[in-house]
Homo-oligomer: A and B are copies of this chain.
């Protein structure tokens, strides 16, 4: 039964006075009222945690003497972006031209698209480069050749260097190739070389602080060594690195000029698993209506599936059980820490099957909202259309 109906019927089923009924109702509302107006899966945002994550990363960058150019692909939200601006951040990273346009519209003037340049988007690149300092990622001659003949406005360029993740970028041992690319860029009047950019995405495979630290040391060493080899002709190359795992733990970034973590703004269970964050730093959670309970299997069925959570998965601490999100209690207008093994065991398009322990099974009824931490906040945020803050605000996103 939903709360609003409790209020209609309370007079009928109790013998209490109107005042007693009001007190009872008030207590009930304290417990449940947050979700009263919601009907579908929502993505909750704890602004306090989020702003603390932002402040913490700003302080870390300052302490390490590096610029912070946060990656905005995680939140994709003007409002969340402004919280960075309030902390003095004035340059950002995005992963598509579409995002660059979106954040340019909110006044960001220095934007790196940390994705190998898509020459198909040349018209939009030209348009945006007229308005902001637009930096692109280059890793092949074809792109340089194309930009040289098609750019109408100047862009900055980072050479994308593969510092161990092996997803994109040039092998840093290919110094001759790198020099050739730098020379080709040098011949273009519209492209200005800014520096070398790497993403140590293999840190996501780390499962200990020592493993993260090793990735950090190795990737920075590769970058410094490369910079040294290029220093005669290119003495001013900036070094840009920084993924959430290394940026969450490391105090120093020797040789780096800027860091570009993104996920830390929300964190998630994948980062918790890596060791990048505590549970109480995770700043987003999904809340999903319960539509069915299955006592024999101790499963709750929620309206909340792959189209809401996306389908990133992780393993429970047994290292065997695949899961897609972890239940957290919701009380007094905020969610708490995970308590026991209660998790999404499978996701269909709209269904989430939540495997829970007795206490959770008994505590929730059909019609209640269940609050669940996501495995990968970037993808869940991308799947959802808006954030609902715990203060009741709705924040839009791209």
Chain A positions within 8 Å of B, measured between CB atoms, are 1-2, 5, 38-40, 73, 95-96, 98, 115-121, 123-124, 139-140, 142-143, 145-146, 149-150, 166-168, 171, 201, 289, 291-294, 296-297, 301, 303, 306-307, 310-312, 346, 348-351, 353, 365-367, 378-379, 382
Is the beta-carbon distance between B379 and A139 smaller than 8 angstroms? no
**Set B40, B116, B120, B348: member contacting A120, Cβ < 8 A:** B40
Chain B residues lying within 8 Å of A301, measured Cβ to Cβ, are 116, 167-168
Q: Is the CB of B140 within 8 A of A292?
A: yes
B5 touches A142 (CB 8 A): no
Q: For A311, give the chain B residue with the smallest CB separation.
A: B311
Report whether A382 and B120 are in contact in the complex, using a CB–CB cutoff of 8 Å.
no
Question: Are B118 and A39 neighbours in the complex by a CB distance under 8 Å?
Answer: yes
A91 to chain B, nearest CB (A): 20
Given contacts A38-B120, A39-B118, A119-B291, 8 further A-B contacts (CB under 8 A): A2-B146, A39-B123, A40-B118, A119-B366, A167-B353, A168-B292, A306-B312, A310-B310
Given A366-B140, A366-B143, A382-B307, answer yes or no on A120-B292 (Cβ-Cβ < 8 Å): no
CA distance A107 to B120 in the complex (A): 39
Contact residues in B for A142 (Cβ distance below 8 Å): 1, 365-367
Residues on the B chain within 8 Å of A311, using CB = 310-312, 379
Contact B39 A121 (CB under 8 A): yes
